[in-house]
Amino acid sequence: MARALLVALLVALLFALGATAQQVTVVPSSIQGVELVGPESPNFEALVTQIVGTDRPVGLAVALPYAVVIRNRTSQAIAAIDTVWTTTDQILLNAADAMFNKAILYVKPGQAVVASPPGILQNQRQLQIFANGTTEGHRLENFRNPGNVTVAIDGVVFESGQFVGADRYGAFEQWEAQIQAPRDLATAVLQKQGSQRIGEIVSWLEGLVAVRRLPVDADPHARETIPAAYVLLAVYRGEGEAALYSRAKSMVDAPVFPLHR
């Protein structure tokens, strides 16, 4: 019943978007070797089919009019992509999707992927992000009455760690925080281990997660600290004190993706 209701709602949204969306303008990529193909291209549908097939969830159908195909024509794999959708007066979505330390997800040389509001799609298996209806619903909230939409790639990170792009919307700083904030939090936990009781450390972590959500313009490092604190608290609650310190140590010792400009 719930699934049927979800599908009905998404279908209604699809029709609403189709009625209100006037135009999608794809800004040609300024990054050498990174090519964008938008819905207006005669090649778009065939490329999407090659990537995700023809059996598409309703959520993807809703998002596809605002998607672009990204082709990596460089000699390096791409580890992160910042796709930004805007209208004349606002940012609809700044989707800084990173695959750091997950080489299997890198966009290989010669590979094409679909960059849609719900995320980067590389194959049919990744259509599971549409399975429960929450991910795409959250990221499509601002697309209900978008008018004319412009989509651009504001930055990419190659497997070497090299960032390339205009970076008008702060993707580099956000990705830097994603890499560093969990390590900094884990380091602080291990430092507290020698001087504080576990109850004090847990209370401190609970204080961090109590913030829940910071403003969009908040410091990226502070924002990325919150989910890292959630992870450590979950480990403690599920496995205990020793597991908490073990996880913190593994976070500190893990290889660091060499992000740089």
Residue 8 CA to residue 4 CA, distance in Å, equals 6
Write the pLDDT tens digit of every residue in 138-177: 677 778 777 889 999 999 999 999 999 999 999 999 999 9
The token pair at 258 is 């060499």
Residue 137 has what pLDDT?
53
Q: Which residues on neighbouring strands pair with residue 82, listed in sequence order? A: 96, 155
- The answer to whether the beta carbons of residues 67 and 114 sit under 8 Å apart is yes
Helix axis angle, 198-210 relative to 220-239, nearest 10°? 130
Residue 217 CA to residue 219 CA, distance in Å, equals 7
Residue 182 has what pLDDT?
98
* Residue at 2: amino acid letter: A
Inter-residue long-range contacts of 188-192, CB under 8 Å, 24+ positions, other chains counted: 189/232, 189/244, 189/245, 189/248, 190/245, 190/248, 190/249, 190/252
- Residue written as tokens 């980067």? 120
Residues of the chain with pLDDT under 50: 1, 3-5, 7-8, 11-12, 15, 17, 19-21, 134-136
Residue 160 CA to residue 58 CA, distance in Å, equals 37
Residue 11 has what pLDDT?
43
* Residue at 109: amino acid letter: P
Residue 98 has what pLDDT?
96
Query: Radius of gyration over alpha carbons of the chain, in Å?
Result: 20
Domain extents in the chain: 2-169, 174-253
User: Does residue 91 come out as left (phi exceeding 0), alpha (psi in the -120 to 50 range) or beta?
Assistant: beta
Q: Give the helix/strand (H/E) hosting 253.
A: helix 241-253
